[in-house]
Amino acid sequence: MESFKAHLDKFISINDEEFASVMSFFEVLTVKKKQNLMLEDEVCQFKYFVIQGCLRKFFINEKGIEQTTEFAIENWWISDTFAFEKQIKSTFNIQAVENSQILAIDYDAQEKLLEKHPLMEKYFRMVYQTAYAAAEKRIRYLYEMTKEEYYIHFSTLYPWFIQRIPQYLIASFLGFTPEYLSEIRAKLRS
């Protein structure tokens, strides 16, 4: 759990004793590739922090096609934030893309954590601000860039995703069909 401690240290100062107490509010899970952690129409009970591996959040559109909206790799959080905070049914699924080790915290445990360690409020605020800013940028890119430009931008910023994540999931995240992504990649290679 040293990676989680190092991650916290980027945002807040927390000593080893406090960290041990913070960790007591989390459950450590090992999940297998393609294992579902949450399904649409279930109350969102957890948010997840990735220690090792990769998770994705997606929904199934009216045509029955999976649309990936978010990935979480090491040191990233993932949940249906609105459904988690309101404790309502989710409109998303969360699934492991790779065999993963994650931390899970449920709503009640989070409330107790924040009560016992108010500094974690600052941590979560900073994490949410960063995530919100990233979402704003992504929305702007969707409006301003062509699909080809968006792929080039994404692959330049996140080259490890292109190597690590299956291409059909990258296509889903970028709003492409796998075939269209193949066309773009072939065009860029020529």
Model confidence pLDDT, tens digit, residues 155-175: 999 888 888 999 999 999 998
Q: What is the pLDDT of residue 190?
A: 83
Q: Is the pLDDT of residue 119 over 90?
A: yes
* Average per-residue pLDDT for the chain: 94
pTM: 0.92
**CA 83 vs CA 24, 65, 70, 135: distances in Å:** 24, 22, 15, 17
Q: What is the pLDDT of residue 50?
A: 98
* DSSP 8-class letter at 52: E
* DSSP 8-class letter at 46: E
**CA 82 vs CA 2, 85, 116, 128, 135: distances in Å:** 29, 5, 23, 12, 14
- Tell which CATH classification among 2.60.120.10, 3.40.50.200, 3.40.50.300, 1.10.1040.10 matches the domain 2-137: 2.60.120.10
Q: What is the pLDDT of residue 13?
A: 94
Model confidence pLDDT, tens digit, residues 10-64: 999 999 999 999 999 999 999 999 999 999 999 999 999 999 999 999 999 999 9
Strand order across the beta sheet in which 36-38 lies:
36-38, 93-96, 55-60, 66-72
Answer with the residue of higher pLDDT: 1 or 90.
90
- pLDDT band per the 50, 70, 90 thresholds, residue 97: very high
Q: What is the pLDDT of residue 188?
A: 86
| Domain edges within the chain | 2-137, 145-190
